[in-house]
Amino acid sequence: MSEKNDRAAWIKGGEVSCSNPPRTTPDRAWRLVLLGSPGVGKGTQAKLLHEQLGACHLSTGDIFRAAKILSERDRSPALNDALEYMRLGKLVPDTTVLDMVRERLHCLHCANGFLLDGFPRTVAQAEALEKLLQKEKLPLTAVLNYELPLEEIMSRLGGRRTCSGCKAVFHITNMPPRVEGVCNFCGAKLILREDDRPESIRVRMEAYEKSTRPLIEFYQKRGVLVSITAEGSPEEICRRTMSKLDSVIAA
């Protein structure tokens, strides 16, 4: 299986072609939504699941991050709208986020399936996505909800150190720099970001819990929610995820 997954079609939208080739022996298209709080490791799991399943990792966060360096002619209309809201310091409305996904509808039709990360974030978005997938005859396989105790999340995020120069990320225990407090790549000072401080993490977690709990209940009622303990190494968590997915298919 190819591990190429540059997601150009997802980042730019429009007529850009997907670089993720169909598997030579496809058995199913895995259509998954990934949920989990900041620091739980969704991005790492998405990469590992892509390698295991072939499904494309479709992250709305990646779109927003890439948008800032895309030229205006390379941005889709909805993405330009989203950037204007962000420039004004406003939240991007649900309708605009959904328009961004609609502009990339061909990505949801990927022959290998998709791993949708960062969307939906609200019940309103989930309801809109449900209607869109029903219209396109693309039923979800499962919604993966990665769970981790608050203490562990605080340890993961609180141990992060970010380079003040090139913005590379390290961790004081899991991925320490060669020289304490100094970036391996550019030699600049490593800093503790404001949103990685304990008081900030608690606020972020409270906000996540408040906004996501109704979303979890929404997918529980649909019978597609699969809860996964996110403790252990990334490989252990991925094996746990695959085991849960096998159980979903067998049910």
Which listed residue (7, 12, 31, 42) is catalytic?
A: 42
Do the beta carbons of residue 119 and residue 129 sit within 8 Å? yes
Q: CA 116 to CA 10: how far, in whole Å?
A: 11
Question: Which of left, alpha, beta for 221 (phi over 0: left; psi -120 to 50: alpha)?
Answer: alpha
Which listed residue (23, 102, 197, 204) is catalytic?
A: 204
Do the beta carbons of residue 112 and residue 51 sit within 8 Å? no
60-80 in b/e form (b: 16+ CB < 10 A) is bebbbebbeebeeeebbebbe
Which listed residue (193, 197, 239, 240) is catalytic?
A: 193
213 is catalytic: no
- Helix (H), strand (E) at residue 3: none
Helix H segments across 136-190?
150-158
Amino acid in the structure at residue 71 = S
193 is catalytic: yes
75 is catalytic: no
102 is catalytic: no
Which listed residue (7, 31, 160, 161) is catalytic?
A: 160
- Helix (H), strand (E) at residue 28: none
Which listed residue (102, 121, 197, 244) is catalytic?
A: 121
Do the beta carbons of residue 140 and residue 32 sit within 8 Å? yes
121 is catalytic: yes
**DSSP-derived secondary structure letter, 91:** P
Q: Which residues contact 116 (CB under 8 A, 6 or more apart)?
A: 31, 32, 33, 34, 58, 129
Catalytic center residues: 42, 121, 160, 193, 204
